[in-house]
Structure 1
Amino acid sequence: MAETRLVLMRHGQSLGNEANQFTGWNDLDLSPDGHEEARRAGRLMRAHGFRFDAAHCSMLRRTIHTLHHCLDELDQTWLPEYRSWRLNERHYGALQGLNRDDTIARYGREQVQQWRRGFDITPPEVELDSPHYPGNDSRYATIPRADLPRAESLATTMQRVLPYWKETLLPSPQRGQSLLVITHGTVMRALIGHLNDLNPEEARTLEIPTGTPLVYEVDAGGMVERAGYL
């Protein structure tokens, strides 16, 4: 059995999940249930004796707060933390903040399902003067505007995420270091699709539970030896 672990986890239930919204890069917090999901995940990992060398999350508070709950329960709050926009949720463009049922009523179920789960289908782009455009958010001020999305498909989200995997995450298990990565549903689909060598259809149809650690045991070459949810 490999001793190096990569744990991927979707944040706990957010207020956007609770309200059935297209949340995307909207910076909503966890719901009360989401806070408890995160604490429970931390307790579960501690009960299984998990020790990490570093932790990564997105730049959105629902992953940051999930991470902090987990580290509190693990008694590992001293771990180095790294945050990246590349781990942010898929940007839903002009759909961000809209209720999904209302959007279905306006555009039809088939169109909305294509926007949500079509592998290379992008929702309508957000306008440059919109508060939903990341270029108008100071936390992304150091990122070239050409790199900031106005809307993303699963395919373009994968293109954004995979450089972070290859350049930042993968070198750690190759050095024998275990990582905790708290991110979002679409980013999980991108990473799982890559790690499990899934085709686009398999990746896009993955259902990712909130607040549930997915454990990969990896060898020194970064190859997966075993994987499964706790």
Structure 2
Amino acid sequence: MPKKGVLVLFRHGQTEYNKLHYMTGLHDVALTEAGEQQAQAAGALIRGFVFDLAYSSTLKRAHRTALLALEASGTNNHLKNPDGSWAIEQSAGIVEADSGDFTARNKHTDPEILAYPHFYDVALPNGESDKQMVVRIQVFYDTELMPRLKRGETLLVVSHSGIMVGFEIVAGIRPVPVEDVWSRRSSVPNAAPVVYEYEDGQFIRHYPIAEPGASED
């Protein structure tokens, strides 16, 4: 019998920077009240999953989203530590791409951001390129996730919009782009779970658990 692994992946809930259309990068902003509600709603969507392990990025917007979603799921209390806190593995490999000098600036109206050559292998000023981001996602995918997925485990990963697009690249769903990954991030909803299914470590398919509504980018 093939071993069926499952990966549930979603972006963090809304932050104030999302509302303002600011580039966030590594700036460690908190969830808004709406973002916390989105995280809890995601938890309701994933209550049919019993996870062997949960991951988030080291940024608090992702970690808080994972915590709230697991709590709301009602089916994953086995992931709690003896003190009642959640055992969520935090990884710097799945933090958002470093937006460098563009952090806290409006991605839709800032003339320097709009004029910048947004290509896959071009780093933002004092920041990171999409290629650099995908390289570290690949390391996380290969070292942390694939061994467990090959064993048939069910995993949760809560991260960021750039990481969501990057996962499609490392899983072979989307080709490596000539243009940037960043321009596609506005189509990634907040806290909308996507399921990736595997058999014996081979990717089979991916799909959203529910059709998400409109979200801030």
Deviation at 1:198, TM superposition (A): 2.1
Are 2:65 and 1:58 aligned? no
Show CA shifts across 1:20-65 (max 9, x none). Answer: 111000000112211111110110111xx21111100100010011
The aligned counterpart of 1:143 is none
Amino acid in structure 2 at the alignment position of 1:9: F
- How does the TM-score come out when normalised to structure 2? 0.83
The aligned counterpart of 1:209 is 189
Give the match's secondary structure for 1:200.
coil
Amino acid in structure 1 at the alignment position of 2:38: E
Amino acid in structure 1 at the alignment position of 2:150: Q
Give the match's secondary structure for 1:155.
helix
Matches within 5 A, 1:111-190: 111=116, 114-115=117-118, 118-125=119-126, 151-190=127-166
* Identity fraction in percent: 28
Aligned to 2:167, which of 166, 191, 205? 191
Deviation at 1:121, TM superposition (A): 1.6
The aligned counterpart of 1:142 is none
Query: Mind listing any 5+ residue stretches in structure 2 that lack a counterpart?
Result: 80-86, 210-217
- Count of residues in Structure 1 that have an aligned counterpart in Structure 2: 196
Is the contact made by 2:3 and 2:151 (CA closer than 8 Å) also made in structure 1? no
Higher helix share: 1
The aligned counterpart of 1:218 is 198
The 1:176–1:201 alpha-carbon spacing in structure 2 relative to 1, beyond 3 Å, is: same
Is the contact made by 1:2 and 1:225 (CA closer than 8 Å) also made in structure 2? no
**C-alpha separation in 2, matches of 1:161 and 1:29:** 23
The aligned counterpart of 1:228 is 207
**C-alpha separation in 1, matches of 2:188 and 2:10:** 9
**C-alpha separation in 2, matches of 1:225 and 1:61:** 31
Show CA shifts across 1:84-126 (max 9, x none). Answer: 111100001111122334522xx26342xx34xx21121111x
**C-alpha separation in 2, matches of 1:108 and 1:186:** 17
**C-alpha separation in 2, matches of 1:173 and 1:101:** 38
Deviation at 1:8, TM superposition (A): 0.9
**C-alpha separation in 2, matches of 1:196 and 1:89:** 20
Deviation at 1:77, TM superposition (A): 4.0
**C-alpha separation in 2, matches of 1:90 and 1:225:** 27
The aligned counterpart of 1:97 is 104
Is the contact made by 1:2 and 1:217 (CA closer than 8 Å) also made in structure 2? no
Give the match's secondary structure for 1:42.
helix
- How does the TM-score come out when normalised to structure 1? 0.79
Is the contact made by 2:14 and 2:35 (CA closer than 8 Å) also made in structure 1? yes
Show CA shifts across 1:157-180 (max 9, x none). Answer: 011221111011111111111000
Is the contact made by 1:215 and 1:229 (CA closer than 8 Å) also made in structure 2? yes
